[in-house]
Amino acid sequence: MGSRDYGKVGSIFLVGMMGAGKSTVGKLLAKRLGKMFLDTDHEIQSRTGVNIPTIFEIEGEAGFRRRESAVLRDLVGREDLVVATGGGIVLADENRRLLREHGTVVYLRASLDELYGRTRRDRSRPLLQTEDPRATLRELLVTRDPLYKEVADIIMDTSTQSVHALVRELERRLPPS
């Protein structure tokens, strides 16, 4: 977290693990700020005409990540968005650079127990279709947490308060647009 130029684009990018609340928080934040809400996973699905598990099945994770990067490159050129990104968007150096340079990045953080509780019944998450989804989540969190922190201007814990309270606190912490 440093002194970045927030004036480039008035967009807000939400990063964090699957189940951290990016879509839920993003929709409410966009409504309160009068910005458009977009979800990178939904953008990928609308562009391909198939769901994320199908993309993983046909193209693998690498194919999905290429599509995710292409969507991010398109979105960073737009203004006044609140964007919920996919949990793995921070894995690519280029994506982290784009996020840092083109808006305010908010890391929505949750505990492993919270993440597991929120995702354990969700069959639309290909990376969690394993023998031990909790262990998979733990491994993903260990790998991704430092990357989320690297790009974050603001870190918000989503485990400790209601969505409305969290969004109000986030609004308070956002730089002036």
Structure confidence by residue, pLDDT tens digits, 10-54: 799 999 998 889 999 999 999 999 999 999 999 999 999 999 889
Here the tokens at position 5 are 């130029």
- The pLDDT confidence band at residue 121, using thresholds 50, 70 and 90, is low
Say if residue 46 is exposed, middle or buried (CB neighbours under 10 Å; 0-12, 13-18, 19+): exposed
Q: How far apart are CA 22 and CA 130, in angstroms?
A: 23
- The pLDDT confidence band at residue 1, using thresholds 50, 70 and 90, is very low
The pTM (predicted TM-score) of the whole model is 0.90
Domain ranges of the chain: 12-166
Q: Which CATH superfamily is domain 12-166 in?
A: P-loop containing nucleotide triphosphate hydrolases (3.40.50.300)
